[in-house]
Amino acid sequence: MGRSVGSMARAPLVVPGEIARLYDKLSAEDREDVDLLEKELTLDQLSKTNPFTFVDSDCFSCLSAVVVIANLFTMFLEVLHPHNSVLNTLDQVYLCFYIFELTVRYLHKGQQMLFGGCSEAWWNWMDLFVVGVAIVDQWCLPLLCEVGLVRMDKNSQSLAFVRVLRLLRLLRLL
């Protein structure tokens, strides 16, 4: 008739050393499949515990692209209207978004953001540099001027190349 629970055949326990030996016996294609499955399982576990997984979503990528393009359009308008307070306010909003984006990306990926895959890490380092320079340009220099530590003419461009650096973010969209 039926087997009792105690007499059922059990799979042998697999220890880490055995796993490594079994993995080594797999073909290259099977190893890729195992690696992909392991990555998917890890990402699935992270998505259940990490509230910042939205950073990897298409929706967030589209939002970031829209902000970069809107920022580019605002930069063009600033050439025509250099002392427009609305455009200056928009610049502050864009910078806040970029800081938010970098922060949540770091909270989601940790050090992997800056030291992970070369192509992604390169863009993240570039973003970090551009945002850092923008913080100096938009917040630190005006504050230093306000307290009298730095003197700048109203018509001077404090760090004109910051505008060019922001264009690099557009390259990321391509």
What is the pTM assigned to this prediction? 0.66
Residue 163: what pLDDT?
65
Cα 106 off chain centre by: 7
Q: Got the DSSP string for 2-41?
A: PPPGGGS--PPP--HHHHHHHHHHS-HHHHHHHHHHHHHH
Whether 153 shows a pLDDT value over 70: the answer reads no
Of the candidates 92, 98, 96, 86, the one whose C-alpha atom is nearest the C-alpha of residue 138 is 92
Residue 50: what pLDDT?
77
pLDDT in tens, 77-98: 988 998 899 999 999 999 999 9
What CA–CA distance (Å, rounded) separates 143 from 105?
28
The position carrying tokens 């890890």 is 42
What CA–CA distance (Å, rounded) separates 104 from 110?
9
pLDDT in tens, 16-57: 677 777 778 888 888 888 777 777 766 666 566 778 889 989
Collect all residues with Cβ–Cβ distance below 8 Å to 105 and sequence separation of at least 6: 52, 55, 113, 124
Q: Which two tokens mark 51? A: 């509230």
